Amino acid sequence: QKEVEQNSGPLSVPEGAIASLNCTYSDRGSQSFFWYRQYSGKSPELIMFIYSNGDKEDGRFTAQLNKASQYVSLLIRDSQPSDSATYLCAVRSSGTYKYIFGTGTRLKVLA
Amino acid sequence: SQTIHQWPATLVQPVGSPLSLECTVEGTSNPNLYWYRQAAGRGLQLLFYSVGIGQISSEVPQNLSASRPQDRQFILSSKKLLLSDSGFYLCAWTGQLGGYTFGSGTRLTVV
């Protein structure tokens, strides 16, 4: 059974701090990694994707991938109250059309 | 630009009644289409996916079915709803980068 695991939280950080969200996956054949943000009552929204080991930056967001450790993370710099949401990690294995989601980490940014 | 439409937004149905949820995608051809369900406080569960007209793969045995009568139309159905079918139903498609774009979702409550 392929799994994606996340700490459910809530993760509370003060406004302006760095929020660090983590995700581990079990399938070593995984090739594509995604982070989604989901506000309460809304559908998930893609915010970052990463395919290669290392860091990928987009504005205040940085995705980090370590395939050897089967670990992917999302850093949010200068966190804002509007970043308060549930963040979902998703993994796609090679040769499949299926994406496995973690259960999400709830982030609370305190003003 | 590509857009995905999903309706209705909310639905309250009695146990044993039928269900039909519809999803359409605009601005692309031959998309991979997916149906997910998110139960309250739970992660996203893949129900069905389709890589082409008439091609449906089922992930979870249940009383739901899916059909793809046209290239950009994906329908989720049930002949008789159960209480356990309540949840937030999401349609999604994958673009060239591989990440999902989700519809706005249907919140189904079976009473």
Q: What is the pLDDT along chain A (111 residues), one digit of tens a residue?
A: 778 999 988 999 999 999 999 999 999 888 899 999 999 999 999 999 999 999 999 999 999 999 999 999 999 999 999 999 999 999 987 777 788 899 999 999 999
Q: Is the pLDDT of residue B96 over 70?
A: no
**Nearest chain A residue (CA) to B58:** A98
Nearest to B99 among A34, A43, A101 (CB): A34
Residue B15 is predicted with a pLDDT of 97
Size of chain B in residues: 111
Q: By the 8 A CB rule, do A31 and B99 touch?
A: no
Residue of B nearest to A94 (CA): B98
pLDDT of residue A20: 97
Report CA-CA distances (Å) from B60 to A56, A88, B35.
34, 21, 11
| Adjacent-strand bridge partners of A46 | A36
Mutate which of A1, A2, A36, A43 to disrupt the B interface (most B C-beta within 10 Å)?
A: A43
DSSP letters of A70-106?
A: TEEEEEESS--GGG-EEEEEEEEETT-S-EEEP--EE
From chain B, the residues in CB contact with A88 under 8 A are: 43-44
CB atoms within 10 A of CB B59: 14
Q: Are A98 and B59 within 8 A, CB to CB?
A: yes
> How many Å apart are CA B111 and CA B109, to the nearest integer?
6
pLDDT value at position B61?
Answer: 65
Burial category of B79 from C-beta neighbours within 10 Å (exposed 0-12, middle 13-18, buried 19 and up): exposed
* Predicted local distance difference test score (pLDDT) of residue A96: 79
Q: What is the pLDDT of residues B43-80, one digit of tens each?
A: 899 999 999 999 999 888 678 999 999 999 999 999 99
Q: CB count, 10 Å around CB of A87?
A: 25
- Whether residues A92 and B98 touch (CB distance < 8 A) is answered with yes
